[in-house]
Amino acid sequence: MDIEVNQKRHVNWLFLFMSIFLWLVVLAWMWLIFSLSAESGQDSLSRSDSIIELVGKRFSFNISSEAVRKTMHLLEFGMLTALSYVAFASSARIARNKSFIEMSSTDIKAGFEMNASFSLWITVLYAVFDEYHQIFVFGRNGSIIDVLIDIAGGLAVIVIIRIIHALANVIKKIRLSQKEA
């Protein structure tokens, strides 16, 4: 492996401050998930019932409490994946001269793959931690099904981000070809 350490470390201050802010948002979102998981089973059920009531009045259809709870798992952890992906992407742009250590392209994954895998790992680990935490909360229990739903939410977000990246690349290529013509 060919490693060369750059002597000049130019910092992009905008991305540094943005990264700090985004990581604080990720931590705040994790705290929100933890707080919701710390509610007793009865409190959590009454929250689900109020969502059911709101949806029922607004859209005139019935939905089960279980469907609301599983959908919330999907959305909570999908958002965690999205936030951590953006935080990783922002953190990768702090150094103006690309990176502090330069490696060949075969040594590390490309930006999207690296950010996606790290953010998905955060989601997986936090989903496991969340379900483990619920074992100790009165009226709640941990469920491997919930962990899988949480992971599915994260994967769905990664797929959406990948589609957005692909569309952006196609649009960029179209614009470049139009400029050349």
pLDDT digits (tens, 9 = 90+) for 156-180: 999 999 999 889 889 988 988 888 8
Answer yes or no: is pLDDT of 63 > 90.
no
pLDDT digits (tens, 9 = 90+) for 25-41: 999 999 999 999 988 87
* Residue whose structure tokens are 């259809």: 61
Answer yes or no: is pLDDT of 16 > 70.
yes
CB 148 within 8 A of CB 66: no
Distance CA 86, CA 92 (A): 10
Residue type, 33: I
What is residue 105's predicted lDDT score, i.e. its pLDDT? 47
Quote the crossing angle between the two packed helices 144-180 and 65-91, to the nearest 10°: 50
pLDDT digits (tens, 9 = 90+) for 97-145: 555 445 454 444 568 888 899 999 999 999 999 999 999 988 888 899 9
Backbone φ and ψ for 110, nearest 5 degrees, come out as -65, 165
Distance CA 97, CA 87 (A): 19
What is residue 93's predicted lDDT score, i.e. its pLDDT? 78
What is residue 59's predicted lDDT score, i.e. its pLDDT? 77
What is residue 102's predicted lDDT score, i.e. its pLDDT? 52
35-46: b or e for each residue (b if 16 or more CB lie within 10 Å)? eebebeeeebee
What is residue 159's predicted lDDT score, i.e. its pLDDT? 95
DSSP secondary-structure letter at 39?
S
- In angstroms, the Cα distances linking 63 to 39, 47, 146, 166 are 22, 14, 19, 35
